[in-house]
């Protein structure tokens, strides 16, 4: 009798305990604060049904329908779960939803959560939302201690600007920094980026590159292995010998580092910068290069060099600074003229021609190259100089040249005998890239050594007049014809008057002449006694400035 009553009391007590537990789970507002322990407990707040399957899974409570858990400030919802209360963990299934505050939301088909380590493992149709960022994957682990989530079976990150895809990645909800590795692709309507390793801040929208990467936009293709890219304004800082190439393949910039701003249309290159212009067949080099596509302007400095290779042998031109200036017709939105200005200490070398000058300007208006302030030109054994020299080009070859002010032409026969012609100006005309004839005007003086049939000098002819014409053959003086009134004397070779052998302004500037492409970087100027007279009326010099160029409409 006593045993029956005891059994009945135990049964009643068990039923009351079960009912009380179910009421507690369906009434979260009556949750009782547990006794403080070293373990931060996971709380079951609600379940439509609780089952104890002692023989199937004795350590778990099977929860069915509208299941709700809480751990600290995080709430977790699902359709069903296995709750391992002693281990402070659970497995959740179907319609998984995890919420932490109003910034972090996590969805999936299944979830395992360990309350001791605060680690979530979400699988299948996983979706992590953090403010404006969405991460999609099929396998995601999330560590609440560090705020770090990572996937390892392919994932896609979406934000306001871009779509980012990779095989492996992680996202820090505190710093908003995402790391993507292996097969990384980042796309937006304005660009496509591919690489193997990329870090991306979803707040600043800046991508950090740590492996070979390619960025393609409407205008350019960028190749780099280290740098950062702002997806908002499409600007970039590119390191480790990066390259920017136009999509049309006409030009590209290579530099140790490049600052690129797509929206502003600007590029700055630092350290051994090379610009290849395949269309015009001109390369530019320098330690610093700036280019603005909006007004088509550029600056090159720091061991600046232009290499022009349109006519066979390359021409190497050095100056302290080069500037490209473009002038526009705003009414027609068209280019009127482009100028390449070089200043100061211009030196140029090509195997058949060398030049030095204080400054230079090449303009597309009339395809002319102007050398200013004591320019000198050498062509094999010939030298020409003046206050200013203008070359007019035709299809990259010289059509004719104009030497203005204190013009002097010198041709070496040997170390002692030089053909010399001086005047106020010289106009030289070319045929098949060879000088054909030249007209000299104004206070003309000449010293000329005629040759016999065996090319031996037969005497020295000195003459003066108002103008003359000189004919050339094989780049050498062949004949001189005085025009108008003139006077002159012919001296036999054995009776040369040394005082008459050299014109007053004669000088052979072999010491200054560039010897090879590398020598253009080493300036050697005229000595004080070799300078041109200061009383010349021609004082034109180019203005080394970008002022005056019309900005292109964008």
pLDDT of residue 7: 33
Query: pLDDT at position 553, please?
Result: 42
SS3 154: coil
Q: State what percent of residues in the chain have pLDDT above 70.
A: 89
User: How far is residue 3's CA from residue 1's CA, in Å, rounded to a whole number?
Assistant: 5
Determine the 3-state secondary structure of 18 from DSSP.
helix
**Confidence check: pLDDT of 305 > 90:** yes
Q: Which two tokens stand for residue 324?
A: 């490209």
At residue 549, the pLDDT reads: 46
Q: Looking at the predicted structure, is the pLDDT value of residue 168 above 60?
A: yes
pLDDT score of 475: 74
| pLDDT-derived band at 535, boundaries 50, 70, 90 | low
Count other C-beta atoms under 10 Å from residue 274's C-beta: 17
Encode pLDDT of 316-325 as tens digits: 999 999 999 9
Predicted local confidence at residue 3, as pLDDT: 35
Least confident of 48-52, 393-397, 494-498: 393-397
The C-alpha R_g of the chain, in whole angstroms, comes to 42
Question: Which of 189-203, 227-241, 260-274, 486-500 has the least mean pLDDT?
Answer: 486-500
pLDDT at 536 over 80: no
Q: State how far the Cα of 532 lies from the Cα of 387, in Å rounded to an integer.
A: 8
Mean pLDDT of 447-473: 89
Q: Looking up tokens 């320019």, which residue turns up?
A: 375
Q: What is the pTM of this model?
A: 0.79
What pLDDT does residue 18 have? 37
Please tell me the distance from the alpha carbon of residue 260 to that of residue 284, in angstroms, as a whole number: 18
Residue 167 sits at the vertex; the CA angle it makes with 163 and 171, to the nearest 5 degrees, is 65
Q: Which residue has the higher pLDDT, 512 or 312?
A: 512
- CA-CA distance, 448 to 352, in Å (whole number)? 23
Q: What is the dihedral of CA 390, 366, 328, 319, to 10 degrees?
A: -30
Respond yes or no on whether the N-terminal peptide bond of residue 434 is cis (omega within 30° of 0): no
Neighbours of 81 (CB within 10 A): 27
Res. 488 pLDDT band, cuts 50 70 90: confident
Render pLDDT for 395-426 as a digit per residue (tens, 0 to 9).
778 889 999 999 999 999 998 999 999 999 99
Question: For the segment 88-145, what is each residue's pLDDT rounded down to a tens digit?
Answer: 999 999 999 999 988 889 999 999 999 999 999 999 999 999 888 899 999 999 999 9
| 183-186 contacts, C-beta under 8 A, 24 or more apart | 186/162, 186/231
Dist CA 354 CA 350 (whole Å): 6
Alpha-carbon distance of 66 to 70, in angstroms, equals: 13
Nearest C-alpha neighbor of 83 from the set 67, 99, 98, 105:
67
How high does pLDDT run on average in the chain? Answer: 86
Mean pLDDT of 196-202: 94
The CATH class, in words, for 340-524 is: mainly beta
**Percent of the chain clearing pLDDT 90 (strictly above):** 60
* Residue-range domain boundaries for the chain: 340-524
Residues in a beta bridge with 342? 322, 360
């Amino acid at each position: 009798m006593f045993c029956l009553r005891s059994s009945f009391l135990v049964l009643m007590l068990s039923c009351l305990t079960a009912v009380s537990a179910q009421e507690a789970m369906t009434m979260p507002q009556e949750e009782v604060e547990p006794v403080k322990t070293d373990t931060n407990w996971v709380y079951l707040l609600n379940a439509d049904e609780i089952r104890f399957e002692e023989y199937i899974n004795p350590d778990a409570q099977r929860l069915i329908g509208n299941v709700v858990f809480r751990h600290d400030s995080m709430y977790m919802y699902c359709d069903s779960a296995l709750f391992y209360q002693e281990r402070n963990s659970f497995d959740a299934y179907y319609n998984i939803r995890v919420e932490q505050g109003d910034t972090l939301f996590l969805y999936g088909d299944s979830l395992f959560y360990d309350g001791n380590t605060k680690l979530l493992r979400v699988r299948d149709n996983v979706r992590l939302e953090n403010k404006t960022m969405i991460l999609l994957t099929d396998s995601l682990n999330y560590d609440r201690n560090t705020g770090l989530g990572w996937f390892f079976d392919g994932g896609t990150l979406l934000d306001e600007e871009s779509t980012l895809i990779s095989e492996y990645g992680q996202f820090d909800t505190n710093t908003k920094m995402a790391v993507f590795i292996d097969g990384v692709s980042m796309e937006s309507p304005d660009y496509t980026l591919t690489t193997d390793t990329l870090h991306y801040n979803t707040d600043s929208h800046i991508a950090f590159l740590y492996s070979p990467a390619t960025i393609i936009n409407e205008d350019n293709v960028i190749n780099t292995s280290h740098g950062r890219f702002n997806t908002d304004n499409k600007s970039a800082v590119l390191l480790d010998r990066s390259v920017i190439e136009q999509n049309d393949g006409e030009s590209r910039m290579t530099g140790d580092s490049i600052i690129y701003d797509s929206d502003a249309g600007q590029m700055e290159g630092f350290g051994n910068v090379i610009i290849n212009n395949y269309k015009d067949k001109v390369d530019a080099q320098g330690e610093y290069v700036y280019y603005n596509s909006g007004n088509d302007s550029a600056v090159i400095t720091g061991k600046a060099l232009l290499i022009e290779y349109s006519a066979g042998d390359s021409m190497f031109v050095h100056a302290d600074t080069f500037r490209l200036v473009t002038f526009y017709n705003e009414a027609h939105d068209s280019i009127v003229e482009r100028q390449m200005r070089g200043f100061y200490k211009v030196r140029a070398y090509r195997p058949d021609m060398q030049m030095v000058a204080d400054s230079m300007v090449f303009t597309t208006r009339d395809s002319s190259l102007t050398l200013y302030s004591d320019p000198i030109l050498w062509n094999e054994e010939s030298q020409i100089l003046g206050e200013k020299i203008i070359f007019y080009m035709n299809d990259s070859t010289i059509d004719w040249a104009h030497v203005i002010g204190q013009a002097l032409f010198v041709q070496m026969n040997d170390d002692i005998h030089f053909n010399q012609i001086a005047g106020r100006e010289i106009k030289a005309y070319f045929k098949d890239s060879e000088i054909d004839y030249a007209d000299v005007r104004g206070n003309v003086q000449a010293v000329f050594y005629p040759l016999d049939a065996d090319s031996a000098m037969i005497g020295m002819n000195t003459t003066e007049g108002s103008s003359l014409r000189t004919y050339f053959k094989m780049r050498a003086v062949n004949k001189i014809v005085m025009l108008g009134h003139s006077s002159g004397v012919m001296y036999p070779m054995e009776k040369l008057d040394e005082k008459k052998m050299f014109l007053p302004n004669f000088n052979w500037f072999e010491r200054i002449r560039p010897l090879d492409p590398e020598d253009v970087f080493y300036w050697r100027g005229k000595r004080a006694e070799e300078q041109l007279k200061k009383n010349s009326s021609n004082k034109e010099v180019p203005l080394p400035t970008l002022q005056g160029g019309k900005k292109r409409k964008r």
